[in-house]
């Protein structure tokens, strides 16, 4: 399944409902609400290295797709103001109406989730990173 933000669900919905498309695995961190019975790829990881490769190589990649960021050293109170403003926007009726009108699905990531992903990615062992590079560049 493709990332949900910015993709018209109509195309996929028609193919799924007609039986022309079957989703057999989700490469996302948590189950999509409309595919509750389709397993997550990470649930098949048999080692810590495999889980890390999926988290950094697949999950984090999606999180980093369209981030809003500020400069290092931005005061924490300002970061909180920005995070709260984004969360408020995502609840705004006019904003949601425009997103629906544009047929955009919204599945936003919080600032805290993005921050955690950045920290996790920055702490990945060099051997795991080398393995990820080997996998991605094949």
- pLDDT tens profile 109-128: 888 888 888 888 888 889 98
pLDDT tens over the chain, length 138 residues: 333 444 455 667 788 788 888 889 998 888 888 788 899 999 999 999 999 999 888 888 777 777 778 888 999 999 999 989 988 998 999 999 998 888 787 778 888 888 888 888 888 889 988 998 888 887
Inter-helix orientation angle 76-89/111-122, to 10°: 120
pLDDT at 7: 44
Region class of 99: left (phi > 0), else alpha (psi between -120 and 50), else beta: alpha
DSSP state of 39: P
pLDDT at 40: 94
pLDDT at 48: 92
Q: Is residue 115 within 8 Å of 69, Cβ to Cβ?
A: no
Q: Which residue has the tokens 């996929």?
A: 12
Q: Is residue 67 within 8 Å of 114, Cβ to Cβ?
A: yes
pLDDT at 95: 93
Q: Is residue 46 within 8 Å of 92, Cβ to Cβ?
A: no
Indicate the pTM of the whole model: 0.62
């Amino acid at each position: 399944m493709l990332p949900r933000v910015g993709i018209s669900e109509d195309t996929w919905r028609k193919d799924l409902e007609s039986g022309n498309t079957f989703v057999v695995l989700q490469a996302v961190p948590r189950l999509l609400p409309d595919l509750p019975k389709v397993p997550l790829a990470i649930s098949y990881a048999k080692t810590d290295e495999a889980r890390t490769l999926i988290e950094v190589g697949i999950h984090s990649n999606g999180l980093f797709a369209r981030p809003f960021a500020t400069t290092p050293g931005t005061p924490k109170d300002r970061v909180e103001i920005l995070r709260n403003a984004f969360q408020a926007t995502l609840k705004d009726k006019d904003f949601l109406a425009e997103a629906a009108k544009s047929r955009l699905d919204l599945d936003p990531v919080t600032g805290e989730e993005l921050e955690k992903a950045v920290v996790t990615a920055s702490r990945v062992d060099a051997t795991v990173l080398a393995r990820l590079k080997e996998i991605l560049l094949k």
